[in-house]
């Protein structure tokens, strides 16, 4: 269930219930969902595609399943793309031409927001007034388009930050680039304009209130979900290793995600080097897969991680693998002894839940939403800070005790079952209903 953060720390107040379906439904029939900088059709794990892509795809499908049609507007990044693509029954992806197809980084996109907004308005103009009951924007770039669209259409705006500039800048990785002041200003404006803000965790909700002076009554906490049909223990670790060509008796600490300083894959490599220094016999039975592609500031040095592995003398145990589809990613999770997430910042950390759903424990930095995703000492371990020595000490426990993976993995799979997308979609629909109710009340008040 979604929850509203009250003005009193730690107090959570449930929102009004949504009655779906029904003739007098209070929730939306059709929403416009905005994802300017990354398409839900893109492969997660490289470029700007990551957990937010998975979030949008899975949420949209589950909303459609409870009779809320979803049209997702995203920027066209190649010529010849169809204007619209049916992602699933009740879910349409609309490609909007805004700026050059290729060669634009995320940082270049604010200059294209006017063109993107124009494209959204052109698509809307083909329909009757009231075609969209609500706008749901993702990330601050989409929030600015959503703000304008919601005002133009007389519809409520629900926004999900996913990440926040002030939070990221407070925990930058070494050599990473701070988020610009323009983004901070933009996020502040979106917070004020939104009828409701969706946060992944209570901690994120508190950050919205603390850093952006969000109205606590407009902030809802909805945990993201996991596709429990795809991410499950299935036929076990041995079968997954056989499919991936991994040794059956290997110790396999896995990194999966975008390769950039924010995600700190270098911490895993440095920890692995320390493990080998402490126990050279591990070299014959340790494999460190890094599954993902360069992203963000990591694009400036796409070979940086491979060079680091060579400098550390562990190139022989590290396996770099490009991003994979979700079905194969589930196999990588099943095959791993442990997933390692040393991130400097995570609004939630979807891959932590996905890995646990397959029965694999997680070692993660105690940042952002990861303490919610991982139960310390029960489904994995949380590490304070980013010192490779601390990660090496925790990983050494898994290397020394092959049964630790199974013990924590069983608890991890049980824990993950409480994060289904159906529950997340139902909670999000409740937020929509509350936003529409508040919007109607405000409109009535404005007209006396």
Alpha-carbon distances, residue 27 vs 56, 67, 219, 345, 426 (angstroms): 19, 10, 18, 33, 11
Ramachandran sector of residue 257 (left: φ over 0; alpha: ψ -120 to 50; beta: rest): left
Q: Which two tokens stand for residue 65?
A: 């399943």
Distance CA 396, CA 275 (A): 7
Could you count the other beta carbons within 10 Å of the beta carbon of residue 408? Answer: 25
Whether residue 376 is annotated as binding a ligand: the answer is no
Q: Which residues contact 28 (CB under 8 A, 6 or more apart)?
A: 68, 132, 133, 134, 432, 436
Distance CA 439, CA 158 (A): 11
Whether residue 188 is annotated as binding a ligand: the answer is no
Half-sphere exposure of 388 (CA within 13 A, CB side): 15
Whether residue 37 is annotated as binding a ligand: the answer is yes
Count how many residues are written for the chain: 448
Contact 32, 159 (CB under 8 A): no
Whether residue 52 is annotated as binding a ligand: the answer is yes
Whether residue 61 is annotated as binding a ligand: the answer is no
Whether residue 346 is annotated as binding a ligand: the answer is yes
Whether residue 50 is annotated as binding a ligand: the answer is yes
Whether residue 354 is annotated as binding a ligand: the answer is yes
Question: Residue-wise over 305-318: b if at least 16 C-beta within 10 A, else e?
Answer: bbebbeebebeebb
Contact 71, 33 (CB under 8 A): yes
Whether residue 49 is annotated as binding a ligand: the answer is yes
Whether residue 384 is annotated as binding a ligand: the answer is no
Whether residue 48 is annotated as binding a ligand: the answer is yes
Whether residue 164 is annotated as binding a ligand: the answer is no
Whether residue 106 is annotated as binding a ligand: the answer is yes
Whether residue 169 is annotated as binding a ligand: the answer is no
The H-or-E segment that residue 4 falls in is strand 3-5
Task: Classify burial at 414, counting beta carbons within 10 Å of its beta carbon; exposed 0-12, middle 13-18, buried 19 or more.
Answer: middle
Could you count the other beta carbons within 10 Å of the beta carbon of residue 415? Answer: 19
Q: Which two tokens stand for residue 23?
A: 């003739």
Q: Give the pairing of strands 12-13 and 69-75.
A: unpaired
Distance CA 310, CA 439 (A): 57
Whether residue 189 is annotated as binding a ligand: the answer is no
Whether residue 139 is annotated as binding a ligand: the answer is yes
Which of 337, 338, 283, 340 has its CA nearest to residue 312? Answer: 283
Annotated binding site: 37, 43-44, 48-53, 106, 139, 163, 183, 258, 263, 324, 333-334, 336, 346, 354, 360
Annotated binding site for Mg(2+): 333-334, 336, 360
Annotated binding site for UDP-N-acetyl-alpha-D-glucosamine: 43-44, 51, 258, 263, 324, 346, 354
Annotated binding site for 1D-myo-inositol 3-phosphate: 37, 48-53, 106, 139, 163, 183
């Amino acid at each position: 269930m979604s929850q509203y953060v009250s003005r009193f720390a730690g107090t959570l107040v449930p929102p009004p219930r949504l009655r779906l379906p029904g003739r007098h439904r209070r929730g939306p029939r059709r929403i416009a969902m905005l994802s300017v900088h990354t398409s839900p059709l893109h492969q997660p794990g490289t470029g700007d595609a990551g957990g937010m892509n998975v979030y949008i795809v899975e949420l949209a499908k589950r909303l459609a399943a409870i009779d809320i049609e979803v049209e997702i507007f995203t920027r066209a990044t190649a010529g010849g793309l169809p204007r619209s693509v049916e992602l699933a029954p009740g879910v349409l992806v609309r490609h909007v031409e805004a700026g050059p197809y290729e060669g634009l980084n995320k940082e270049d996109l604010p200059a294209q927001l006017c063109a993107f907004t124009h494209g959204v308005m052109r698509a809307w103009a083909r329909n009757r007034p009231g075609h969209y009951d609500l706008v749901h924007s993702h990330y601050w770039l989409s929030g600015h388009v959503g703000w304008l669209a919601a005002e133009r259409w007389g519809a409520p705006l629900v926004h999900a930050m996913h990440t926040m500039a002030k939070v990221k800048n407070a925990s930058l990785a070494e050599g990473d680039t701070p988020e610009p002041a323009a983004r901070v200003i933009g996020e502040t404006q979106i917070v004020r304009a939104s009828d409701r803000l969706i946060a992944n965790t209570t901690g994120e909700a508190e950050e919205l209130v603390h850093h952006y002076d969000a109205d606590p009554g407009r902030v809802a906490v909805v945990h993201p979900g996991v596709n429990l049909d795809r991410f499950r223990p299935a036929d076990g670790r041995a079968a997954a290793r056989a499919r991936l060509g991994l040794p059956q008796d290997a110790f396999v600490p896995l990194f999966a995600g975008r390769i950039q300083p924010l995600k700190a894959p270098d911490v895993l490599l440095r920890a692995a080097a320390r493990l080998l220094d402490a126990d050279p016999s591990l070299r014959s039975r340790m494999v460190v897969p890094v599954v993902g592609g360069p992203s963000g500031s990591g694009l400036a040095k796409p070979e940086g991680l491979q060079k680091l592995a060579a400098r550390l003398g562990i190139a022989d145990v590290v396996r770099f693998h490009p991003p994979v589809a979700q079905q194969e990613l589930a196999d990588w999770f099943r095959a791993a002894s442990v997933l390692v997430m040393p991130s400097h910042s995570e609004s939630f950390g979807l891959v932590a839940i996905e890995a646990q759903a397959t029965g694999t424990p997680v070692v993660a930095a105690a940042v952002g939403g990861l303490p919610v995703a991982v139960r310390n000492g029960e489904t994995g371990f949380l590490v304070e800070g980013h010192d490779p020595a601390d990660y090496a000490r925790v990983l050494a426990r898994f290397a020394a005790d092959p049964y630790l993976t199974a013990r924590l993995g069983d608890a991890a799979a049980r824990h993950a079952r409480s994060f289904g997308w159906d529950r997340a979609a139902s909670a999000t629909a409740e937020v929509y209903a509350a936003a529409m109710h508040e919007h109607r009340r405000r409109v009535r008040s404005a007209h006396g």
